[in-house]
Structure 1
């Protein structure tokens, strides 16, 4: 098995189809199928499940996919280092950012990396944390910013800061000129929240239950734009990151931090232990940690509380 075959296999998994992968690779489908068969014979295990709808990796295929992505990235970095000199960092680094974190970190990260490491090509994925967790587990991301406090099996967790939650909308509740609103005032208020598979939903449910309040979830919505639009229209309120109220896109949406109690969640840099970290990936991680340290006065939850 060689690097070319690894690229072929990764292309098949990404495309979900042998015909689409063959087209993207500019080779014939029979030739691609033969290469995959040779890999399966070499490893002694089936790598793809074939069906009328396309192909999907087997358990062995998923393992190969993660390692192949890492090897391909390392090979690309090796070539770049040789061409540019051993001290010039280069290569692609895939970073996953939840939308709330991307609102304050994505642009500064891009600008800092372009200025300091022009040879490193960032791939920034912005999505809800549940999907980013899947991408990290599948080896699609080198680094993911997730809402975690402690390390889990196979994942290294480096704490960044605590993100404070806010109620968006609910103009009929409390003082709209205040920067905060007591959680008790949201008892019975119609809310739209992510489904129960999301950590934010669990955090909100625990807070309402501990305070003996009525949590009135009128819809489970796993779409950030939809939740914010419903809150903007006054159809229902939602509880999300307070950072979302800072962006120009949502400046017209009422957002107030929750107090009594304050709701917070830990934000951390996460990466798979099974995937070797490249020098470029370490540089991006260091850059993100430096940016967070510099932005600490605006990210620190204590700073937000001074407006309570």
Structure 2
């Protein structure tokens, strides 16, 4: 298996189609099919499932895909480092941002990278954290922001900040929380135990936020009444806005134009940690380190502003000027 074969196989898996992969790789489809057949003969196992809707990798194919991605990234990094030696920072940097993090940091990051490192080509993937984690595990990203603080075999997290979680939306009258909310206040509070029975729309179980919530609900002995699993920030907010169910999100997720939407701090306070997560299998390129440093600066500046972001556990409370 050579580098060219790796590129062809990665293109097939990425696009799920031999025809589309051939177009992207600028090679005739019969030649691409022959390369795939040669790989399957070399390893002695099927690497893809062929069907009317395209091709999908087998378990063996997924394993080869992860390794091929890693090797191609290392080859690309080596070339970028050689070209950058003695020159400015350059090269492609692929990062993943969950939707709430993208709303807060995406544009400031793009502006700063363009200003400081015009030779860096930023590739930004915005999605729910579960999909971002999948991209990171498959070595498709240089790094990502994830809501986790524990390392794994594949990921090394670096805590950047933490933020409180709020109940968003109108509560049933039976909870009594609305009456205790100060008149005219933009935000009130609610005890975690009062959420028993409250209809909730939450991200699905594969998302970092859901894991944080389930852990805290279990510790409090409260069974969450989840009526919808929505992996869409806009749908979560719309569901709360229309009174269909409440949701739980950081305050930064709520648009200032939604100031009239009830937003209550949950007590005891629930917090999630924002971490810069690096894939252990990939080298950290000079360009990736430069972009990561900009992101650290942006987050530190937000903490210093005294908004919803706070230092992560173990971080100093004060941010040096």
TM-score norm. by structure 1 comes to 0.85
- Matched residue SS, 2:48: strand
- Matched residue SS, 1:295: helix
1:285 corresponds to 2:284: no
Could you say which residue in structure 1 is the equivalent of 2:48? 49
- Matched residue SS, 2:204: coil
What does the per-residue CA deviation read over 1:23-75, in whole Å, with 9 as the maximum and x for residues that have no partner? 33232211112223344455x35462232243233444334433433444454
Q: Is the 8 A contact 2:74 2:282 kept in 1?
A: no
What does the per-residue CA deviation read over 1:198-255, in whole Å, with 9 as the maximum and x for residues that have no partner? 343343344344445463322222322211111111121111122112x45x535625
Matching residue within 225, 228, 231 for 2:237: 228
User: What is the alpha-carbon distance in structure 1 between the residues aligned to residue 67 and residue 9 of structure 2?
Assistant: 11
Q: Is the 8 A contact 2:97 2:125 kept in 1?
A: yes
User: What is the alpha-carbon distance in structure 2 between the residues aligned to residue 255 and residue 280 of structure 1?
Assistant: 42
Q: Is the 8 A contact 2:81 2:286 kept in 1?
A: no
Q: Which moved more, 1:154-163 or 1:187-196?
A: 187-196
For structure 1, the residue ranges without an aligned partner over 5 or more in a row are: 303-308
4+ residue runs over 6 A deviation: none
- Matched residue SS, 2:136: helix
User: What is the alpha-carbon distance in structure 1 between the residues aligned to residue 295 and residue 59 of structure 2?
Assistant: 33
User: What is the alpha-carbon distance in structure 1 between the residues aligned to residue 48 and residue 30 of structure 2?
Assistant: 16
User: What is the alpha-carbon distance in structure 1 between the residues aligned to residue 62 and residue 195 of structure 2?
Assistant: 44
Could you say which residue in structure 2 is the equivalent of 1:25? 25
Map 1:1-308; keep pairs closer than 5 Å. 1-40=1-40, 44-46=43-45, 48-52=47-51, 53-76=53-76, 86-170=86-170, 173-174=177-178, 175=181, 177-183=185-191, 184-213=193-222, 215-245=224-254, 247=255, 251-252=258-259, 254=261, 256-297=263-304, 298-301=307-310
- Matched residue SS, 2:200: strand
Q: Is the 8 A contact 2:168 2:240 kept in 1?
A: yes
Q: Is the 8 A contact 1:230 1:236 kept in 2?
A: yes
- Matched residue SS, 1:51: strand
1:280–1:185: structure 2 CA closer, same or farther, 3 Å change rule?
Answer: same
For structure 2, the residue ranges without an aligned partner over 5 or more in a row are: 312-321
